[in-house]
A = this chain, B = another copy of it.
Amino acid sequence: MGKHKDDCTCKHDHKHDHKHGECCGKHEHEHKHGDGECCCHGHEEGHVCQAPQRAEEFRALQRELWTRSYLLKITEFDGATVAPENAAPARGEAMAALAGEHHQILTSERAQKLVHKLNKALSKGKLDDAQLADEVRVFERDQREAMAFPQEEVEAWSRLTCEADAVWHKAKLANDWDSFEPYIDRMVDALKRQAGYLDSSRDPYDVWLDQYERGMDAASYDKFFSQVRETVVPLVRDIAERGEQPQADFLTARVPESVQRNLSFDLMKLVGLDMASTTLAFTEHPFSEGFSVGDARVATHIYEDNLMSNVYSVIHEAGHAIYELGVDPAYAFTCLEGGTSMGIHESQSRFFENTVGRSRAFMGPLLALLRKHAPEVYNNVDEDALYRAVNIAQPSLIRTEADELTYPLHIMIRYEIERMLFSGEATAKDVPALWAQKTKQYLGLDVPTHTEGALQDTHWSGGAFGYFPSYALGSAYDAQYVPAMRAAGIDLEGACASGDLAPVRTWLGDNIWRFGRGKDAPELIAGSCGAPFDATFFCDYLSTKFRDLYKL
């Protein structure tokens, strides 16, 4: 603790000690109340505490950032759904400007000072506002991470991933691993260096795993995937050897686009989306986007000979959208708006898609809708046949086409390879052989081409290492929600069978949605399930469901 400097002209009756430089080791005009720290501590009458004003400034700053995020999303949505082909250059220009402004505002000196002063005001109890404290905490983390890298690192990384992405697009088409291979090692090297800027005390791969899903690291994923491996690999083998696949020709029956459109709206309503807060758009790859309180949308792709692709895309994306719409409206225009993480987001979409949407109980309401819109196909299908058909488990090469059971194995292959690349146990040249070996081991399949192997996904070409594992968490979280929901007295099967999912939405809303970005995944899991994440629930769920389906 220091003393005021001799040249301090501060006229306040300071009752608190402070270090030099913190309050009074500054210019005279800062003593004359431009400064939140000096206030509320027994000043003369007439002084006004600056902390509430700073909180307002902070909200205004967040609004500036929110505007950029919102516009980025609107523009991206426009591009993905309706914009003409030749609109791309102008859109790119506008989006680059928005992203630049977002970074500039987030990392500005003004923003840094504000966060610093608000942190002090909060810690000194001058602001008693739990939401504001959450905003400051989340904002500060966003800011710190946005500022972590030196400019030359950012630029070099942008060049490297642009180049890698362009090479990957061609390489995938040409089944040409060799041209893409060098980028893997270069990107892993860069990511290891970058991890040091984010947190030099941790293993680099742990840093990146945590970036994509807070609280996760290689140790927790190792444990998770080892349980998945022990449960799912033998189950998949048993199905291949002894399981009987159902006849389900109706899955490929032609259902016209206009019929599928109308069915899609009914599915969105069945999930419980407020139709005044959403819309259905059409695009190449289905997605969902939350724009703001009161606006989260679904985009699907219709194949006339694959109705179920659209059905489960719509239910899945509706699950994402309903999460975004369930965030506390008080978080509007702040950094707490939106979903908290990839894993939690996927747990919401997959809860509706799989836990509800592929449950036996839900076949009643689902079949009723299918019969309403496509009676010529579904009047001859019963609930049991539908249940078997939408739960066919069968190893395949392409991750995005995998079923509920084999999906985590695809993720495991990628996780194990990433882990070896970061630990130095493997380099890029080993990837194709590792891919082939693990695909054989876990899925029982040969990999005929790189296009269907290590070149199939876009993630690595964009430098997203550590991202894949979070994809497997969604369903695993779901399996842990179920007993917690039951313990809260919710009749999940009854809700699914009746088609009235309100009790399910209430539980998810109270335990997950409303917190927005205010809580990280581990807190949400612990809060909602009363215990830390545990993959046992997931393994038990898969085992029970698929052994029953395939009578094993």
Which chain B residues border A293 with CB–CB below 8 Å? 89-90
Which chain B residues border A90 with CB–CB below 8 Å? 70, 291-295, 332
Report which residue of A77, A83, A94 has the largest number of chain B beta carbons within 10 angstroms of its beta carbon: A94
> How far does the Cβ of A320 sit from chain B's closest Cβ, in whole Å?
15
Q: A488 contacts the other chain (Cβ, under 8 Å)?
A: no
Q: Taking CB as reference atom, which chain B residue is nearest A82?
A: B279
Q: Taking CB as reference atom, which chain B residue is nearest A85?
A: B276
> How far does the Cβ of A269 sit from chain B's closest Cβ, in whole Å?
13
Q: A162 contacts the other chain (Cβ, under 8 Å)?
A: no
Which chain B residues border A536 with CB–CB below 8 Å? none
CB pair B82 A71 closer than 8 Å:
no
Can you list the 7 inter-chain pairs with the closest CB atoms, starting with the nearest?
A90-B292, A86-B294, A87-B295, A86-B277, A85-B276, A67-B97, A86-B276
Q: A278 contacts the other chain (Cβ, under 8 Å)?
A: yes
> How far does the Cβ of A218 sit from chain B's closest Cβ, in whole Å?
39
CB pair A291 B87 closer than 8 Å:
yes
> How far does the Cβ of A236 sit from chain B's closest Cβ, in whole Å?
41
Q: What's the number of copies of this chain in the assembled complex?
A: 2
Which residues of A266-298 have CB atoms within 8 Å of chain B's CB atoms?
A: 274-279, 281, 291-295, 297
How far is it, in angstroms, between the C-alpha of A516 and the C-alpha of B253 when the chains are bound?
52
Q: A389 contacts the other chain (Cβ, under 8 Å)?
A: no
How far is it, in angstroms, between the C-alpha of A98 and the C-alpha of B68 when the chains are bound?
10
Interface residues of A (CB under 8 A from B): 63-64, 67, 70-71, 74-75, 77-78, 81-91, 93-94, 97-98, 258, 274-279, 281, 291-295, 297, 332-333
CB pair A84 B258 closer than 8 Å:
no
Q: Taking CB as reference atom, which chain B residue is nearest A70?
A: B94
Q: Taking CB as reference atom, which chain B residue is nearest A325?
A: B86
Which chain B residues border A85 with CB–CB below 8 Å? 276-277
CB pair A279 B83 closer than 8 Å:
yes
> How far does the Cβ of A36 sit from chain B's closest Cβ, in whole Å?
26
Which chain B residues border A292 with CB–CB below 8 Å? 87, 89-90
| 21 contacts across the A-B interface (CB closer than 8 A) | A63-B93, A63-B97, A64-B97, A70-B90, A70-B94, A71-B94, A74-B75, A82-B82, A83-B295, A84-B278, A84-B297, A85-B277, A86-B274, A86-B294, A87-B292, A87-B294, A87-B295, A89-B294, A90-B294, A90-B295, A90-B332
